Amino acid sequence: MRLRLITLIGLMVALVPASADASKSGTTIKDCDVCPELVIVRAGNFMMGSNDFRPDEKPVRKVTIGAPLAVGKFEVTFAEWDACVADGGCSHKPGDEGWGRGKRPVINVPWTDITKQYLPWLSRKSGKTYRLLTEAEWEYVQRAGTTSRYSWREKIGKGNAVCDGCGSRWDNKQTAPVGSFEANAFGLHDLHGNVWEWVQDCYKDSYRGAPTDGSAVTTGKCEGRVLRGGSWDFYPRWLRASARRTFGPGYRDNNVGFRVVRMLTP
């Protein structure tokens, strides 16, 4: 009986995953009433960049994301940003161009307001540490295990996103409410099109010497920060998984928003 009990205990221990967070990959969490919904994405590695297009997407290199992440299921919405304004955490109430607020992605928000106001406020409200994704993390979660130009296939197709030529009713007119298109294999929406998304990194014109551990590029003067994903008024080629753009941290426009991430405790 004692031997059998020890055997059963050993079996139970063996069934406990090394990382409880990793075992929840694909599930959703919400840290507070006004917090964005998050999806847990497993750790992994991928080939970042492309040798077929713009020089700043080269050279292709293997990048390892060493720990699971809790990534915004959607782009941050007007409702979520407006909650920060109402609570005194954000000083700027961005305009919506007359397209509506609520579940539409917040636009006209600069990198500086996001990193100095919204993310610190969200971290205080939730008791967790929120930040922007690094550029490597962003491409990893957008690709979601694929190697094609888009997470669904090589061609843009029709009705998979909103852009100038994506075949949606919002094309080259305005943003779409978040979640209007199917999620990728990681359970995340709108990583192609809708709005460009700010990431942490300083822009460099190539990946020469860039980190391979998923961390952000922070060296240099950082006159420009990186944006990813394309938008409602850009052509499909800008929605490619490897496509990049840069603007100064104070830049704001009606095709620019962001997505949040927080680390998970191993």
Per-residue pLDDT at 242: 96
Q: Are 40 and 21 in contact (CB under 8 A)?
A: yes
Burial of 154 (0-12, 13-18, 19+ CB in 10 A): exposed
Cis peptide before 211 (omega within 30 of 0): no
Rounded to whole angstroms, the Cα distance separating 168 from 22 reads 35
Dihedral, CA atoms, 61, 22, 118, 250, nearest 10 degrees?
A: 0
pLDDT of 149 higher than 90: yes
Per-residue pLDDT at 266: 53
Q: Nearest Cα to 39, choosing from 69, 76, 75, 80?
A: 69
List, for residues 187-208, the tens digit of each pLDDT value. Answer: 999 999 999 999 999 999 999 9
Domain 25-263 CATH superfamily: paralog of FGE (formylglycine-generating enzyme) (3.90.1580.10)
Average pLDDT, the chain: 91
Dig out the tokens for 236 from the structure.
């499909």
Per-residue pLDDT at 224: 96
pLDDT of 19 higher than 80: no
